[in-house]
A and B are shown apart, each in its own frame.
Chain A
Amino acid sequence: QQQVKQSPQSLIVQKGGISIINCAYENTAFDYFPWYQQFPGKGPALLIAIRPDVSEKKEGRFTISFNKSAKQFSLHIMDSQPGDSATYFCAASMAGGTSYGKLTFGQGTILTVHP
């Protein structure tokens, strides 16, 4: 019930291409879905997040698409750049009450963008 499944495990994209990472969750009580970007030797950095009352959120080249009925959400990186090469984690949580801050993370996707 608490799992968040992320795919693919690794992804190779050419510069300028679109990177797509998918996540699926089981717990319908989750109401906050962030994506984190992690470079080697660094902590995860919050990239973009969405709540289930909207189906899409865009910030610059990064877009989250959310499908509540399918319990799936995805990260799209448009015009991918070599500097986007990192590990990406999706996560989910119940943002309120005693579950605040308790993120359940996906397994991570290693993105490599070739120049």
Chain B
Amino acid sequence: AQSVSQHNHHVILSEAASLELGCNYSYGGTVNLFWYVQYPGQHLQLLLKYFSGDPLVKGIKGFEAEFIKSKFSFNLRKPSVQWSDTAEYFCAVNVMNRDDKIIFGKGTRLHILP
């Protein structure tokens, strides 16, 4: 069955540190990939997405992610985090042209120390 794995459940960093959150998916076909963020008390918002083309995608708030097909990975990165990046981050996968169902990873809670 299609699944999404986020390796880090809880990450604590200091401001200005670099961030990389891992995401791997299990499906071997063509996929659409997403990172969503949920700030405390708020709804999920799209950070960035990959549908096709350049495997390095840039999203909002300085985030980027790289799709590495051979590794079934879509890791999220940010060179220098801010306190306001404290949130929960979800990687998600959709199997292209099958249906609109999105499978989410279990999320990574990111806590930035001021």
Query: Do A and B associate with each other?
Result: no
A: residues with CB less than 8 A from B are none
Residues on B lying within 8 angstroms of A by beta carbon are none
